[in-house]
Amino acid sequence: MQTDFHHAVTYVTARTAGFAHREADIIAYSAQYVDDAVSEGVVHFDNDAFYARIHSSHKSTDVGNLNNDYNHLIWLPFHFLPGNGDKGPGEDPDGTFIQKIVCLPDSPPAKEMVQAAVDDKGKPYSLHRLGIALHVYADTWSHQGFAGVIHEINNVEHARELTSSGMYSKQLQHVLEDLLDDVIPPLGHGRAKDFPDLPFLHWQYRNGRGVWGDRDNPADFCKAADAMCKVMQQYLGKAQSGLPTADKTLLEKIFLDLKIKEDKARHAKWLEIVKNGFKGEKFSFGTAEISYAAEGANSWKEKALGSSWDIRVHKYTPEFLRSNWKLFHDALQLHRLTVLHDILPKYGICAG
């Protein structure tokens, strides 16, 4: 999933779950920032204080993508959560170890992950951690069938769009074949490019094991939003009823209508929808004005470290400890520790 879902749709589901604007804004920013926190290392301050941060993503051109050691620390806990074949703790799916770490929607490890985030309610970074967990949770639907390591199971062949009649579009077929590139390492859904992330696409492909997958992105994205809403309702101590019918219907309409392939353009349209509604319809919480900046002016990083955040030594202020950027990175470290060292070992998965 891309910025439109991780930021805008997460905000919408948070508001429909009952969060106020400020809280929903933090959750949604955190959910998207998982894709944009690409730097790690120590931040030094002029009073000899320091803060060590980890990263939750690589740029697509990062050589770290070729190293499965890095993949275990980045792609497994933050983007391709192992599904253990949908089996419970202590059980093994049929096949080799790769079947344990293929990502699956709403898997037992995924349920444990979001529960751990809910259980941290009340901590200074609890909303940030909830947003991080919801990013990973949502990705279990869009990244299903792929694994966050370099492996043949991630090969993608004969990808094609399906129409409402179940036939495939020959016109798009040529476009898909041109875009799919075997030069790209078989990591995650890299060889499928952004097809798993496009909310409007219904498509098929054959993986490296010769198995055909039928992917209905609009339906999967609606299921993800509904499940996320239930998690947030649980966090708030409310009945876990999921999205109201009208909101779910409106979401599906938007997913199907916005046939915009480019991420930023689709996100910009979503910001307009949250602010003004969609073709005369509004979500149950009304309207709101939201924005997102991964870096630069109005970003959490610049607010925490100043406009010259790349200097060697930063000016320290007490407000840094309460900044969203610092709290996000606190939550990021706890999330990775919990997933790799508490949850996955229950399923016989050693990845950290």
Q: What is the dihedral of CA 101, 105, 107, 113, to 10 degrees?
A: 90
Lowest mean pLDDT among 179-183, 209-213, 215-219: 179-183
More confident residue, 164 or 28: 28
Mean pLDDT of the chain: 89
Give the pLDDT confidence score for residue 178 in this predicted structure: 46
Q: At what angle do helices 126-142 and 217-235 cross, to 10 degrees?
A: 160
Pairing of strands 313-314, 41-45: parallel
The residue ranges of DSSP E strands in the chain, in sequence order, are 41-45, 50-53, 157-161, 202-206, 212-216, 313-314
What percent of the chain lies above the pLDDT cut of 70? 87
Query: What amino acid is encoded at 18 in this protein?
Result: G
Distance CA 133, CA 117 (A): 7
Coil, helix or strand for 286?
strand
Give the pLDDT confidence score for residue 165 in this predicted structure: 45
Give the pLDDT confidence score for residue 171 in this predicted structure: 42
Give the pLDDT confidence score for residue 189 in this predicted structure: 61
Give the pLDDT confidence score for residue 92 in this predicted structure: 95
**Would you say residue 89 has pLDDT above 90?**
yes
- Within 13 Å, how many C-alpha atoms sit on residue 265's CB side? 6
Average pLDDT over residues 167-192: 54
Give the pLDDT confidence score for residue 64 in this predicted structure: 53
Average pLDDT over residues 260-267: 95
221-231 pLDDT tens trace = 999 999 999 99
- Cα–Cα nearest to 70, from 51, 54, 83, 84: 54
Give the pLDDT confidence score for residue 311 in this predicted structure: 73
For the chain, the domains span 3-347
Distance CA 261, CA 201 (A): 10
Distance CA 118, CA 110 (A): 13
Confidence of residue 287 (pLDDT cuts 50, 70, 90): very high
Q: Is the pTM of this model over 0.75?
A: yes
Give the pLDDT confidence score for residue 190 in this predicted structure: 59
Give the pLDDT confidence score for residue 5 in this predicted structure: 98
b/e 289-315 (16+ beta carbons within 10 angstroms → b): ebebebeeeebbbbbbbeeebeeeebe
